[in-house]
Structure 1
Amino acid sequence: MSELFDEVDEEVRREQLKKLWDRYSIYFIALMVLIVAAVGGWRAYQYLEAKKAAEAGALFEKAVELSEQDKHAEAEKAFTELAAKAPSGYRTLARLRAAAEAVSRDPKAAAKIYDDIAADGSVSAEWRDLARIRAAGLLLDSASYADMQQRLEASAAAGSTFRHSAREMLALSAWRNGDTTAARKWLDAIAEDGETPPGLRSRAEALQALLPPVAKS
């Protein structure tokens, strides 16, 4: 008798499953199609991105070769074109290299390119900081100390990646503009930082020796 009940239960389950399949099979098939399409689309996207990166890498290398051949105008053009269409990884590098190539043509124009990178919120903070340092280096001989302070004070803060370069440029700018108090401030920051590179520390000590002695109260 139990076997009969088992057969009846099995038949009931099959009937229920058949009804469920008849009712929801279209949704199940649609879901499977969507999953397959999504996987295929993701694979296609990965392939296209890898292809773009490879193409950008090849163009970047060609631009570097132009630079190494001292064809700076051509290199600048190549880097600028690459920056306009390359994937994000190469875009910032190409912009930085375009600015570097522009230095020989027009330092102020190069500084403007660096400034544009530094002001671009889509660029990582470290790259923006580097662009800020590069622009300041190009303008060090002509900019006022107030301008250099506005550009570099945040980069000179403790823990900043480029604080050593920023502090040195601020000290030099203050000295050249006759602000000995500010010069001493940055030279002291250089001296007190245990991670200051030896070469920079030596230059700071040499500059410190050029400053007039502190007046005694």
Structure 2
Amino acid sequence: MSELFDEVDEEVRREQLKKLWDRYSIFIIAAALLVIAAVGAWRGYQYLEAQKAAEAGAAFDAAIDLSEQGKHSEAEAAFDKLATSAPSGYRTLARLRAAGEVATRDPKAGAKLYDEIAADRSIGTVQQDLARVRAAALLLDTESYPNMLQRLEAAAKPDATFRHTARELLALSAWRANDTTAARQWLDMIANDGETPSAMRQRAEALQALLPPVAKS
């Protein structure tokens, strides 16, 4: 008798499932097709993005080769093109390299391009600081110490990525301006930072030796 009831229950379940399928099959099929289409579209997008990145990487390497061959005008044009058409990861790098190419023929023009990058808040603090440091390096011999301080003070903070180079540039600028107090301040920061590169530490020690001794009170 129990087997008969089991067969009846099974038949009822099948009938219920058939009714559900008849009523909702179109929606189930549509949902499945949407999922398949979405996965296909995402895979296609990933493929296209990877292809664009690969093409941009090859073009970037080719532009670097032009620069290393001394073909700065051609390299500049190649980097400019990448700065407008490459995926976001390469655009900022291309802008930085293009500014460097311009700087080979016109340091002030190159510094101006770096300043534009440094003012672009959309690219991130690290890239902005790199642009600030490179612009300041180009203008070291012509900018006053107060102007250099304005340019580099933020990049010289303890948590800044390029603080070592920023501090060295500020020390050199202060030394050129005969501001021994400021020069010593930056040299001390270089010496007291445990992460200062050894070569830079040696340069700082050499510059420190050129400063007059601190007056005793």
TM range (shorter): over 0.9
For 1:211 and 1:143, locate their aligned partners in 2 and report how far apart those are by CA, in whole Å.
Answer: 21
For 2:5 and 2:203, locate their aligned partners in 1 and report how far apart those are by CA, in whole Å.
Answer: 97
Letter in structure 2 aligned against 1:30? A
User: Partner of 1:109 in structure 2?
Assistant: 109
Letter in structure 1 aligned against 2:165? S
For 2:175 and 2:112, locate their aligned partners in 1 and report how far apart those are by CA, in whole Å.
Answer: 25
Structure 1 position 15, deviation (Å): 1.5
User: Partner of 2:194 in structure 1?
Assistant: 194
Letter in structure 1 aligned against 2:97? R
The correspondence of residues 34-113 of structure 1 with structure 2, limited to 5 A, is 34-113=34-113
Structure 1 position 8, deviation (Å): 1.6
5+ unaligned residues in a row in structure 2: which ranges? none
Structure 1 position 95, deviation (Å): 1.2
User: Partner of 2:157 in structure 1?
Assistant: 157
- Residue 141 (str. 1) matches residue 158 (str. 2): no
Structure 1 position 63, deviation (Å): 1.3
For 2:5 and 2:198, locate their aligned partners in 1 and report how far apart those are by CA, in whole Å.
Answer: 91
Q: Aligned pair count? A: 217
User: Structure 1 segments of 4 or more deviating over 3 A?
Assistant: none
Letter in structure 1 aligned against 2:92? T
Structure 1 position 206, deviation (Å): 2.4
Deviates more, 1:28-37 or 1:193-202: 193-202
User: Partner of 2:203 in structure 1?
Assistant: 203
For 1:14 and 1:200, locate their aligned partners in 2 and report how far apart those are by CA, in whole Å.
Answer: 81
User: Partner of 2:177 in structure 1?
Assistant: 177
Letter in structure 2 aligned against 1:87? P
User: Partner of 2:23 in structure 1?
Assistant: 23
1:104 match: secondary structure: helix
Cα deviations by residue, 1:8-46 (Å, 9 ceiling, x for unpaired): 211211121112112221211111011100111011111
Deviates more, 1:206-215 or 1:95-104: 206-215
For 1:9 and 1:148, locate their aligned partners in 2 and report how far apart those are by CA, in whole Å.
Answer: 87
For 1:209 and 1:193, locate their aligned partners in 2 and report how far apart those are by CA, in whole Å.
Answer: 18
Structure 1 position 77, deviation (Å): 0.9
Cα deviations by residue, 1:48-95 (Å, 9 ceiling, x for unpaired): 111111211221122122212211011101101111100122212211
For 1:24 and 1:77, locate their aligned partners in 2 and report how far apart those are by CA, in whole Å.
Answer: 59
Letter in structure 1 aligned against 2:117? I
Structure 1 position 133, deviation (Å): 1.0
User: Partner of 1:3 in structure 2?
Assistant: 3
5+ unaligned residues in a row in structure 1: which ranges? none
Q: Percent identity?
A: 73
- In structure 2, relative to structure 1, the CA distance for the partners of 1:202 and 1:3 (3 Å cut) is closer
Letter in structure 1 aligned against 2:191? A
- Residue 132 (str. 1) matches residue 132 (str. 2): yes
Structure 1 position 193, deviation (Å): 1.9
For 2:63 and 2:200, locate their aligned partners in 1 and report how far apart those are by CA, in whole Å.
Answer: 32
Letter in structure 2 aligned against 1:161? T
For 1:52 and 1:193, locate their aligned partners in 2 and report how far apart those are by CA, in whole Å.
Answer: 41
